[in-house]
């Protein structure tokens, strides 16, 4: 029976429409964002169990975690607290699928609401074997190490487009539409929650159609940053080659190391 891992980010959560809602220092707006995130998590957990899941693990990794409110947790799920995004804490070969909840598009995506790749203040572009990857691709590769496919993604339209282009048969819940980087047109919460339920329902009924994302190994990873000083400390590390002022390269032999150029 299906065992599902839900990896949560925040920018693509239903109703999140301002940057202040995803930043801890913003007080009431951030508290509102956390409530919206918990609502999406509980909808996703319920949809998994309603469609046959026997176990659901939830990991909150936005900004290192801390958004999940213990009192609001669905008691049927297991929560990785605190979760470590690197290599996806608790994921292993026993899982049947990964759901990327509340995600966003990679850095540089037109009309991607709050688009970035891991670090919005640092990374211009990350590439694996010449292909630009955002967090969807990096996380899908970590899951691919365990032969686990990403089966569903929620976020804005740009996020869905990126996920489909990379992962093919993945089911997507579009809960908002980016209007440039810092504004979004959001679905009403009930409609957004129904979109999440529907996407997870479709995914759970077609698990065999989803294939793990497994870039060819050894993989050549490259990262271009915004300013040259951002790689001054990274470039001297073992295995890292500096290609120019803002770009470094590293060859990795495991998908768990796909983002080790930074971590």
Res 131: pLDDT: 98
Res 1: pLDDT: 76
Res 22: pLDDT: 82
Q: Which of 61-75, 84-98, 174-188, 225-239 has the highest mean pLDDT?
A: 174-188
Q: Are 212 and 144 in contact (CB under 8 A)?
A: yes
More confident of the two residues 162 and 235:
162
Q: Which residues pair with 178 in a beta bridge?
A: 184
Res 182: pLDDT: 95
DSSP state of 106: P
Q: Is 235 helix (H, G, I), strand (E, B) or coil?
A: coil
pLDDT tens digits along 197-212: 999 999 999 998 899 9
pLDDT tens digits along 32-80: 989 999 999 999 999 999 999 999 999 988 767 667 887 888 999 999 8
Alpha-carbon span 226 to 123, nearest angstrom: 6
- Please report the domains of the chain, with CATH numbers, ordered by start residue: 3-121+133-209 (3.40.50.10780)
Res 87: pLDDT: 65
pLDDT band for position 130 (50/70/90)? very high
Question: Can you tell me which residue has the tokens 């913003």?
Answer: 26
Which pTM does this prediction carry?
0.95
């Amino acid at each position: 029976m299906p065992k599902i891992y839900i990896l949560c980010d925040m920018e693509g959560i239903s109703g999140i429409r301002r940057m202040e809602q995803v930043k801890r220092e913003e007080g009431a707006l951030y508290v509102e964002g956390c409530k919206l995130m918990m609502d999406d998590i509980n909808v996703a957990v319920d949809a998994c169990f309603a469609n046959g899941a026997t176990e659901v693990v939830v990991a909150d990794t936005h900004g290192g975690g801390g958004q999940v409110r213990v009192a609001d947790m669905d008691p049927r799920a297991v929560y990785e607290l605190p979760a470590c995004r690197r290599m996806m804490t608790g994921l292993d070969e026993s899982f049947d699928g990964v759901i990327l909840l509340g995600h966003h598009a990679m850095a540089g995506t037109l009309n991607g609401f709050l688009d970035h790749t891991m670090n919005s203040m640092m990374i211009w572009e990350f590439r694996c074997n010449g292909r630009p990857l955002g967090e969807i691709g990096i996380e899908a590769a970590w899951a691919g190490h365990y032969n686990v496919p990403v089966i569903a993604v929620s976020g804005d339209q740009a996020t869905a487009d990126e996920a489909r282009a990379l992962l093919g048969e993945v089911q997507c819940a579009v809960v908002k539409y980016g209007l440039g980087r810092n504004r979004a047109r959001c679905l009403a919460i009930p409609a957004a929650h129904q979109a999440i339920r529907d996407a997870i329902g479709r995914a759970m009924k077609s698990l065999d159609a989803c294939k793990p994302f497994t870039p060819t190994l050894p993989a050549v990873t490259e990262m271009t940053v915004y300013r040259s000083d951002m790689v001054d400390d990274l470039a001297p590390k073992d295995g890292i080659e500096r290609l120019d002022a803002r770009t470094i390269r590293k060859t990795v032999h495991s998908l768990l190391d796909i983002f080790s150029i930074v971590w």
